[in-house]
Chain A
Amino acid sequence: MATVVTTRKQGQGLPKIIYISAAWNIIIMLGSFALSYILFTQEPNKQLKDLGDNVRYFLALIALIPAAAAMYSVYGLLARRPGGRYASMALNYVGAVLSCLYLLHLWGVFIAFDDAGKALFENSFLLWGFVIAYAVYWLAGRLPEYSPSRRYLEMFAIGVAMLALIALLLLGGAVEGVWNVISTYGELQTWAVTIVVIIFAFVGYQILNQGDFFGETPDQRTSWQGWLMVSPNIIGFMLFFAGPLLLSFYLSFTDSEPGSIPDVIGFKNYGDILSLEFKTLDDPEANPQRALSFGYIPLDDFKIGNTRVVIGAKDVLFWKSLRNTIVFCMMLVPLSSIPALLLAVIMNSKIPGMKFFRAAYFLPSVAAVVGTALIWRWLYASDIGYINYAITEFVNGINSIFGTQIEYQKTQWLTDQGILLFSIVLLAAWQAVGFNTVLFLAGLQGIPTTLYEASFVDGANRVQQFRHVTLPLLAPTTFYVIVTTVITGLQVFNEPYALISSRPIPDAATTSVIYLYNRGFFRFEFGYASAVAWLLFALIFVVTIAQFRLQRSGSYDV
């Protein structure tokens, strides 16, 4: 292969594309400045306006970043600096991606997912094509490897799947979709954005190919390829994680409510949520409300000696929900981990049928919580539910054996406010036990059997082995199980929401996330809800860190 080596002397002039790119970068710079200016001075649309001026100012500042990058890259390109090329590449790449996303938006591609859903619904019989294809493919996998019939069957399966896909596209209105995209070109905006996308892509690609001119080393080449490959993640991270996280933090300091533009109110949300007041009452019969300051509602009261202490809170329900959540976790952790540990220890003794039991225990954690909660709603039904029936039968059995006269008042699992939270815990524990069992099993299988043999020689019995070999060596797994259970427990939402049919959800079953949901999406107090969310996050964070500390300082370090 012949390589053409073009040598260019310094000062002989830069390739044309450098000038084109520099010019384009100047346009980007001016555009960014213009965007920043627009954002700074006026409200571009209603949705953005509803977020308040500060968000707009922030976005205006963000828009200055590409302007600065463009400025630098113009300089770098003309001075033949590699940095200029990279800045230009990044700028054009991000510009191409964002303008492409905007073009897709103009084409109506994102909204078209709804139509895709409708099309799939109307042609759902074609889904059988995929099922058949999978079945055939699976069958082919049973055949001996490299046999021709296996290959034919596999190709047949792939063919069926492709056919189903094509039929789905055609019947689902892909042609119509393309026509809709074309018809968006009736508007000037679509043309403009398309041209911008093309320029971004073209300039970016040309600059990319100027590696030799800028003296690119293979390592540098690898570097930008690495950046390119993580770029989808980074862009998604910025758009759907980092950005919203900042917004949430900002909103938590505002009074964002429906119908008003949010104002920054400092720590007022946090103050209102966390405010507690402790007052003593001399008269034990007095109305506790009297003792509290204005705005406080009695949360709880207790007695120390003869004085009665009243606790008041501005946001009583927050504290109640927090208490519910913590109690929930405190019940869930033992209920979902101790049985799991015992089951795992039993199943670890290599008995036949272990795989079956493991799969059976794992099943609940696979199913949608909403579905299982509805099953349990009916198992809990006080009059016809199986749980009360089983208890009644059990009590009757006891009575007939021992001749006792115990009477079982049917438990109102879902309406008795004192039991409600426990009912939710039982459901959650049922769902989590199998998962934790598998985790413990994995941990147990990591313990070398020689340790058991050694302890056996030393005369340890089963219980001693469990106490002195299994538990210490299983500590990391136990720690992991407890941390994950607590973290998911603190965020419990689906279980109470689906298990309890009454709306609003009774106070006794209001967990922190349900409280947050009610505040944010029932009353649309976004500022307040964000503050609740950050407090919940702080709690989760503190609990996790505390557990890490405990784990480190514990004697079971392995």
Chain B
Amino acid sequence: MDRNKARLWFIRLMVYLLLGGCGFIMLFPFAYMMFTSVKNSTDVFHYPPRLLPYSAVTAEYEGQTLPVYEFEIDGETYEMVLTDEKVRYGFFTTQENIDVNNTRQSKILVELPIDEAVETEEEVTLSDPSTGKEDSFPVFEVPVSGESQNLLLAYRSSLDVFVEPGNPEFRHYAVARTAKPVEEVEFQLDNYDTVLGLNLDRAFTNTILVTVGVTLGQLITSIFGGYAFARIPFPGRNTIFILYLGSIMIPFVVLIVPLYRLMVVLGWQDRLVSLIVPWIFTAYGTFLMRQFFLSIPHEIEEAALLDGASRFRILWTIFVPLSTPVVATQAIFTFLYAWNSFLWPLIIIGEGDERNPVLTLALIQLSNIAADKPNLVMTGAAIAILPPIIVFILAQKYFIESVSSSAVKG
């Protein structure tokens, strides 16, 4: 019994691990987008990559704002600012420790600013018999723990000077490039302002206009059409319905060239109207409405008809109020379709249109002009992606139900 229970728990654990792992894969790109959208332009290129947005910590020193670095000296950690000073630094050692072929590989005994050592007149020439390389090294009097010692200068280098702001006497010399900067988590919300300023604001409102226009238009045409196809017997109804439904079979790619030509004839190219008016007629939506209206009992309608109500009145006062779920479903699908559509706007408006961009176009444009700023591209992506996601979270029920029903019917 206990073994069975343990097995059950083990299976449960595995199931959740699997589901969680898949969930991680599905959601991680969005997390990446959100976190990258608030990073600064240097942090995005940090390797290994990290999710949280980090910024370099700065401190005031002698009236300047300077980046802070962290050093571990004699087991203690110090936070120091990088000054713009440089110092010539000498690396000293004995004759035996010098590697003539590559002086930087030599074993260094003492390293300190070159000015703290005293140069002597002497010079030692060393050579490697195997490679035949020969070099001469100046001899310095180097202070080593209070005493002066004669050592060879293996090589010299220019190092950055770091200072502890509270204790300016305490200095440290290192290469800034390889030093470890002190960083803190900071959300660069300015990115959103920057990106909106790159014409994404206009694209955003345009997209809202187009989406609202298409959604309202489709709802109106498909409520009328759906009602007529579901409830009004008229000669030729079935033929038209099948023809209309058959149009779903025709892929959009067949229509892009002639629709483009039609828009040119109408003078609608580069215009927002071309994103709205051709798209307010939908066979799929009409079908969806028809299916729903078919499920409404006839009795309700017949009573109203006997009372002399007109068809339009019946539709408006009886059918429309009853069809909130299907209207919501269709509205959501149309919203998504219009909000995310790309190929048609690309053809009819094109990339880089200043006046009438929609979000998907502006996003592609942004990815071109900010090709080396992934943080800005992710900000743009977030602006385009978040509204549908919010709608999805608010109206999840309708999404899942309608997708499910399409499969059962299909």
Contacts and interface: CB of A to CB of B under 8 A. Distances in A.
Interface string A360-382: 11111011111110111111010
A124 B311 contact: no
Nearest to A439: B407
Contacts of B377: 374, 377-378
A contact residues, range: 35 or more
A430 B392 CA distance: 18
Contact of A230 (B204, B240, B355): B240
Contacts of B258: 243-248, 251, 530
Interface in A501-544: 501, 513, 516-517, 520-521, 526, 529-530, 533-534, 536-537, 540-541, 544
Contacts of B260: 520-521
Contacts of B249: 541, 544
Interface in B342-360: 342-343, 346-347, 355-356, 359-360
B392 A386 contact: no
Interface stretch (A24-32, A316-324, A441-449): A441-449
A386 B261 contact: no
B407 A117 contact: no
Contacts of B240: 230, 234
B244 to A, nearest CB: 6
Contacts of A442: 403-405, 407-408
A146 to B, nearest CB: 16
B170 interface: no
Given A117-B356, A240-B278, A526 B257 contact: yes
A383 B384 CA distance: 26
Interface stretch (A92-100, A339-347, A450-458): A339-347
Nearest to A354: B19
A123 to B, nearest CB: 9
Contacts of B213: 113
A363 B27 contact: yes
A536 B254 CA distance: 8
Interface stretch (A2-10, A62-70, A76-84, A221-229): A221-229
B253 A114 contact: no
Interface stretch (B29-37, B72-80, B127-135, B138-146): B29-37
Contacts of B388: 366-368
A267 interface: no
A105 B277 CA distance: 13
B336 interface: yes
A537 B355 contact: no
Interface in B232-289: 232-235, 237, 240, 244, 247, 249-262, 264-268, 271-273, 276-278, 280-281, 283, 286
A368 B342 contact: yes
Nearest to B221: A232
B389 interface: yes
Given A374-B363, A521-B347, A530-B258, A229 B49 contact: no
A536 B250 CA distance: 10
Interface stretch (B57-65, B152-160, B175-183, B366-374): B366-374
Contacts of A227: 228, 234
B342 A494 contact: yes
Contact of B22 (A124, A343, A377, A517): A343
A351 interface: yes
B251 A501 contact: no
B19 A343 contact: yes
A48 to B, nearest CB: 6
Interface stretch (B40-48, B83-91, B102-110, B186-194): B40-48
Given A113-B272, A230-B225, A374-B367, A384 B342 contact: no
Interface string A265-277: 0000000000000
A226 B403 contact: no
Given A113-B273, A360-B23, A245 B234 contact: no
B195 to A, nearest CB: 12
B81 interface: no
B396 interface: yes
Contact of A501 (B26, B229, B259, B368): B368
B233 A226 contact: yes
A480 interface: yes
A3 to B, nearest CB: 13
A121 B358 CA distance: 12
Contacts of B94: none
A477 B409 CA distance: 10
A71 interface: no
B6 interface: no
Contacts of A248: 254-255, 257-258
A418 interface: no
B26 A245 contact: no
A220 to B, nearest CB: 9
A484 B409 CA distance: 13
A141 to B, nearest CB: 12
A442 B404 CA distance: 5
A109 to B, nearest CB: 9
Most-contacted residue by chain A among B44, B206, B258, B262 (CB, 10 A): B258
B25 A233 contact: no
A502 to B, nearest CB: 11
A362 B356 CA distance: 31
Contacts of A234: 240
B407 A51 contact: no
A222 B233 contact: yes
A360 to B, nearest CB: 5
Interface string A422-464: 0000000010011100110111011000000000000000000
A372 B380 CA distance: 11
A249 B136 CA distance: 85
Nearest to A479: B410
A333 B393 CA distance: 28
A514 B409 CA distance: 32
A430 B377 CA distance: 20
Nearest to B19: A357
Contact of A386 (B26, B49, B271, B403): B49
A441 B408 CA distance: 11
B150 interface: no
Interface string A460-499: 0000000000000000010011001001001101100110
Interface in B1-17: 12, 15-16
A244 B262 contact: yes
A206 B204 CA distance: 47
Given A439-B407, A517-B343, 6 more contacts: A47-B264, A110-B277, A237-B247, A243-B262, A359-B392, A372-B29
What are the 7 closest A-B residue pairs judged by CB atoms, nearest first? A236-B281, A226-B234, A442-B404, A226-B232, A244-B258, A229-B228, A247-B258
Interface of A: 47-48, 50-51, 105, 110-111, 113-114, 116-118, 120-121, 124, 127, 219, 222-227, 229-230, 232-234, 236-237, 239-241, 243-248, 251, 339, 343, 346-347, 349, 351, 353, 357-364, 366-372, 374-379, 381, 383-386, 389, 430, 433-435, 438-439, 441-443, 445-446, 477, 480-481, 484, 487, 490-491, 493-494, 497-498, 501, 513, 516-517, 520-521, 526, 529-530, 533-534, 536-537, 540-541, 544
